[in-house]
Chains A and B, each alone.
Chain A
């Protein structure tokens, strides 16, 4: 059965699901089995009988059809429209309008008498039969005023006008007719919007103005001249109108299946993440302007939800990006990181600075603190360390007296001064105590740490010792810490 379906579908150039439906309708009608109908169709097709009645009802995914339908297909279709029986049409129309067959038949009859067209034509239209098909099929009298040069606007007018009239005269089907108008209008608008975009681009290119501006101008022009927007745009773009809209009939066909296609809910269809599905509906709001009536209908309805500012789309991308970046970088946990996060000492379990020193201890300030204390020394040794009453520290002199590794001696010396120094000389160069003059001991006025800080300052500032070495040298930082 599946194979049969596939074959028929292939020959007819329509999806299997649709073939199945049509066949089912036919089978029901004629009282035969689905298989029989399919076989019959297959036989017809292989026998080259005019089997291309296919456009009758439309596939869910119509793209393959548009793609596959060869140019001559439409001709065939035209010829073959009479192969659909009236009963089939009634069924399809009923399905499309979601009305009982009896009612649709009587409505269609009334409509046909009123409009002076045939019952088949009305039904075909309601069923969503390809409009090309309708135009050329002998019985179908399509509206007179269809401009030949812009076939792509036809479907819009055709499909909307009729049911609208219909609605006014037959109140009992007004609602469904309204649905039809709207749906077809939507389809048409969608269709024109599709080709419109290309057109607009061309016009924008040709005229060297932004597409939006081009569109607005064209709309104004179209309104003034009463021409369809496409025609205006096509003129401006210098494109042949006919070629521009050549794809329109198929596009219009795309829209129609809405009504013909079974509305059987398919909860089992792959549940793609809706969040990722782009808003197909969004484009539709851009009314084509091809037909003023439709445009108005469309504009009256509120715009579909989801037309949101573009910057939001950027935010929707950026925020997850930020989150993912965070996940990758992930500064959480016991490792040193941003955000006031400390390291955990593996031995004590206490939180410590990232360099391993106790929290709250700072390493950068000793030098500055020493500099402030040095102000007291500057009276004798001068602010730049070149000496005065006291000896000079500059040009490394301080490191000659107290070489690297002997900061503690320097601290001792500063603390005790000349008066209390136990030896006759001091420092590595064995300078005589009191040789230059007397130096007060600062041990009483300065704390041990302050003495160390000022020694540090002198050694780094005037002696040129590396700060970190000097800090260890002067006992301000423990050598064992990895800082």
Chain B
């Protein structure tokens, strides 16, 4: 039990680590300035480099995303070339968004922020620069790799393994630099410091898991889900950290101020999102207790959302009027709203009743969009404002267009998803149409208007980012004049508690992460009660090397078919009629398992045994999907050779 004022003394000491005499005390007590004259230069320069690189990736990524959004509406759009096919652009854009934009951008703002928070220069800045190179290569290489057909086939980790390894290296270097800087502060780091120093550590851990070879079947899907949850955890953690930093800076609040609510928000956020991998496999053949963990932790994610939103609100309470730079405030608020919405969207995606409707629909995309284009992007925008300044006028254009795009795209995808889900549920219930074959037309028609809304909105968002890139590239602006943190931290209430020093923080975070690894990766992978190959798996799904079916399966992966097709029948009303419900043993030879996450096209688990399946008609369907079904949204695969098409058809025929 530390005494209250005791905490204050610690905090004030932390602010003056090199305190020599009383004079320095007087000079620095009420100032939040960095000690080292170089500090600002190094960290600011590093942050600016990162932001410029990130912005380039960002613009390419959102343009790619916008292109895919229109490709769904105009399936023939640029589908004559392999590398412009929907199945390749979509995962490539996602890699650019996660590796290039989210990771580099958030780390960039993080370098600046952590240096400001600790009051010390960025440590090991050479490693930070090395990290930028590694991450940049990972992002560019991963995206190009996917475009030339090197898709790994792992959901959420489509980038080739060497790209993921580079990414892990970059994350490791970044976390060394940020940790070293955070470590210079031996006392309370404050919420912004907690989040920003925990984030790269979490990123490194999950990036390392992502290069572990994927085991066969369900276990592989579980491991991938765990690594993906780690990446999401990084993005959310870092974005919240940036929000704390920005709001703290512009409102003149001392960054080391922390209350119980902030601590609750931080630890609960780490806890629930580390376990969120389980929520990606609801209704899957994974162990049921594992899925239940996903549901429980998705519900639990409301706690950090509530705590952090309230804490940030209290941080701003009574200070909004005094905030000079409204743009950063607005950006940060949209980021916060997007993350809160994402939490709710995730709960609905996970809760069994609603999940049976919205799982596999564009609801999944909306969640991704809210986190990456909402929370992450707007947090970086806010950080950019603090870092690079700029006039309010130019940022309100960017803010307006970006927000409009985000809101429109989210709304379009969410409503379209609900419409899709109810369409799927309506088919088997009314027995009027099936959710495959010709019956799929009902789905494509229903979702069309919402796809339009989403596509136009994403395009608006993308155009706004071009503006962002031009501005960030041409700016030699000054760091926004941040009002000095009011010197109240060395008055009584600064640190009623010392919540987390760097050491305690990393220990806690690592513990939570290991717990999550045990319960949402290792144990469910070990728990393979019914993983023995089923009759289904043994009848044609073995895919021996060099066989036609295996070549076809590789093509299925490299062309990104899994971007639109699932291979998983769930025990829910919407999947009635699709065939036998999938069990773990069905995927015994499927490495990596092609369960899929989205159903823009119909499920393919038992496609070859459904009524009306005609392998003779399949080649022409693949080459020109709209010849027989004018409503089809599938891209044309006319760029594939006849041999490839034959192999693909052989593979599809094994899906009985």
Do A and B belong to a common assembly?
A: yes
Given the known interface contacts A281-B259, A284-B492, A344-B581, the answer about A327 and B303 at a Cβ–Cβ threshold of 8 Å is: no
Greatest chain B CB density within 10 A among A274, A278, A284 is at A274
**A171 at interface, CB cutoff 8 A:** yes
**B1 at interface, CB cutoff 8 A:** yes
SS class of chain B's interface: helix, strand, loop or mixed? helix
Residues of B within 8 A of A277 (CB): 260, 263, 497, 499
Q: Residue of B at shortest CB range from A176?
A: B25
A331 to B355, alpha carbons, bound, how many Å? 13
Of the candidates A255, A339, A359, the one whose C-beta lies within 8 Å of that of B5 is A255
A306 to B1, alpha carbons, bound, how many Å? 18
CB distance from B396 to the nearest CB of A (A): 29
Given the known interface contacts A182-B490, A330-B292, A349-B580, the answer about A99 and B5 at a Cβ–Cβ threshold of 8 Å is: no
CB distance from A186 to the nearest CB of B (A): 3
Given the known interface contacts A267-B504, A298-B492, the answer about A305 and B353 at a Cβ–Cβ threshold of 8 Å is: no
Within 8 A of A (CB), among B296-341: 296-297, 299-300, 302-303, 306-307, 310-311, 314-315, 318
Within 8 A of A (CB), among B251-279: 253, 257-264, 266-268
Cβ contact within 8 Å between A183 and B492:
yes
Residues of B within 8 A of A98 (CB): 9, 12-13, 19, 25
Residues of B within 8 A of A350 (CB): 576, 579-581
CB 8 Å contact bits of B349-360 with A (1 = contact, 0 = none): 001111111000
Residues of A within 8 A of B488 (CB): 301-302
A271 to B502, alpha carbons, bound, how many Å? 12
Q: Residue of A at shortest CB range from B498?
A: A265
**B291 at interface, CB cutoff 8 A:** yes
One of B369-377, B468-476, B567-575, B631-639 at the interface: B567-575
**A8 at interface, CB cutoff 8 A:** no
CB distance from B51 to the nearest CB of A (A): 29
A30 to B315, alpha carbons, bound, how many Å? 50
**B433 at interface, CB cutoff 8 A:** no
Cβ contact within 8 Å between B291 and A306:
no
Q: Residue of A at shortest CB range from B490?
A: A179
Residues of B within 8 A of A258 (CB): 3-6, 8-9
**A1 at interface, CB cutoff 8 A:** no
Cβ contact within 8 Å between A267 and B503:
yes
**B624 at interface, CB cutoff 8 A:** no
CB distance from A349 to the nearest CB of B (A): 3
CB 8 Å contact bits of A136-176 with B (1 = contact, 0 = none): 00000000000000000000000000000000000111111
Within 8 A of B (CB), among A399-426: none
Cβ contact within 8 Å between A186 and B19:
no
Q: Residue of A at shortest CB range from B16?
A: A98
**A60 at interface, CB cutoff 8 A:** yes
Cβ contact within 8 Å between B9 and A259:
yes
CB distance from B493 to the nearest CB of A (A): 4
Cβ contact within 8 Å between B292 and A308:
no
**B547 at interface, CB cutoff 8 A:** no
A259 to B12, alpha carbons, bound, how many Å? 11
**A202 at interface, CB cutoff 8 A:** no
Residues of B within 8 A of A391 (CB): none
CB distance from B356 to the nearest CB of A (A): 4
CB 8 Å contact bits of B412-438 with A (1 = contact, 0 = none): 000000000000010011010000000
CB 8 Å contact bits of B1-29 with A (1 = contact, 0 = none): 11111111110110000010111011001
CB 8 Å contact bits of B549-585 with A (1 = contact, 0 = none): 0000000000000000000010111111001110100
A336 to B462, alpha carbons, bound, how many Å? 45
A275 to B7, alpha carbons, bound, how many Å? 17
A327 to B13, alpha carbons, bound, how many Å? 45
Cβ contact within 8 Å between A306 and B300:
no
Cβ contact within 8 Å between A340 and B259:
no
Given the known interface contacts A273-B267, A307-B259, A350-B581, the answer about A301 and B357 at a Cβ–Cβ threshold of 8 Å is: no
CB 8 Å contact bits of A362-388 with B (1 = contact, 0 = none): 000000000000000000000000000
Cβ contact within 8 Å between B314 and A267:
no
Within 8 A of A (CB), among B504-552: 504, 507-508
CB distance from A429 to the nearest CB of B (A): 42
Residues of A within 8 A of B314 (CB): 305-308
**B288 at interface, CB cutoff 8 A:** yes
Cβ contact within 8 Å between B306 and A312:
yes
CB distance from B587 to the nearest CB of A (A): 14
> What range describes how many residues of B lie at the interface?
35 or more
Q: Residue of B at shortest CB range from A268?
A: B503
Greatest chain B CB density within 10 A among A100, A175, A309, A337 is at A175
Of the candidates B6, B253, B315, the one whose C-beta lies within 8 Å of that of A257 is B6
**B599 at interface, CB cutoff 8 A:** no
Of the candidates A257, A279, A360, the one whose C-beta lies within 8 Å of that of B259 is A279
CB 8 Å contact bits of B31-63 with A (1 = contact, 0 = none): 000000000000000000000000000000000
CB distance from B655 to the nearest CB of A (A): 15
CB 8 Å contact bits of A288-326 with B (1 = contact, 0 = none): 000000000110011111111100100110011011101
Within 8 A of B (CB), among A456-481: none
**B481 at interface, CB cutoff 8 A:** no
Residues of A within 8 A of B355 (CB): 339
Q: Residue of A at shortest CB range from B303?
A: A319
Residues of A within 8 A of B282 (CB): 332
**A249 at interface, CB cutoff 8 A:** no
Given the known interface contacts A179-B9, A183-B9, the answer about A319 and B491 at a Cβ–Cβ threshold of 8 Å is: no
Cβ contact within 8 Å between B576 and A332:
no
Greatest chain B CB density within 10 A among A187, A257, A271 is at A271
**A185 at interface, CB cutoff 8 A:** yes
Cβ contact within 8 Å between A316 and B306:
yes
Cβ contact within 8 Å between A99 and B8:
no
Q: Residue of B at shortest CB range from A315?
A: B306
Given the known interface contacts A183-B5, A339-B351, the answer about A323 and B297 at a Cβ–Cβ threshold of 8 Å is: yes
Of the candidates B19, B29, B352, the one whose C-beta lies within 8 Å of that of A341 is B352
CB distance from A294 to the nearest CB of B (A): 10
**A178 at interface, CB cutoff 8 A:** yes
**B156 at interface, CB cutoff 8 A:** no
Cβ contact within 8 Å between A281 and B22:
no
A298 to B491, alpha carbons, bound, how many Å? 9
Residues of B within 8 A of A184 (CB): 5
CB distance from B545 to the nearest CB of A (A): 29
A324 to B569, alpha carbons, bound, how many Å? 28
Q: Residue of A at shortest CB range from B352?
A: A339
Greatest chain A CB density within 10 A among B13, B264, B300, B310 is at B264
**A254 at interface, CB cutoff 8 A:** yes
Residues of A within 8 A of B299 (CB): 319, 322-323, 326
Q: Residue of B at shortest CB range from A304?
A: B493
A277 to B253, alpha carbons, bound, how many Å? 22
Of the candidates A255, A274, A281, A326, the one whose C-beta lies within 8 Å of that of B267 is A274
Cβ contact within 8 Å between A351 and B571:
yes
Cβ contact within 8 Å between B501 and A340:
no
**B590 at interface, CB cutoff 8 A:** no
Top 5 nearest A-B pairs (CB, nearest first) are A306-B259, A281-B496, A349-B580, A333-B288, A305-B259
Interface residues of B (CB under 8 A from A): 1-10, 12-13, 19, 21-23, 25-26, 29-30, 186-187, 253, 257-264, 266-268, 282-283, 288-289, 291-293, 295-297, 299-300, 302-303, 306-307, 310-311, 314-315, 318, 351-357, 425, 428-429, 431, 488, 490-493, 496-504, 507-508, 569, 571-576, 579-581, 583
Contacts A263-B9, A315-B306, A320-B303 known; list 4 others, CB within 8 Å. Answer: A99-B21, A182-B492, A302-B318, A332-B292
Pull 25 A–B residue pairs with CB atoms less than 8 Å apart, ordered by A. Answer: A98-B13, A99-B25, A175-B29, A175-B490, A178-B491, A179-B491, A186-B4, A186-B492, A190-B5, A255-B5, A261-B9, A267-B501, A275-B267, A279-B260, A304-B496, A305-B311, A306-B262, A308-B310, A323-B300, A324-B296, A331-B352, A332-B283, A339-B352, A339-B356, A350-B580
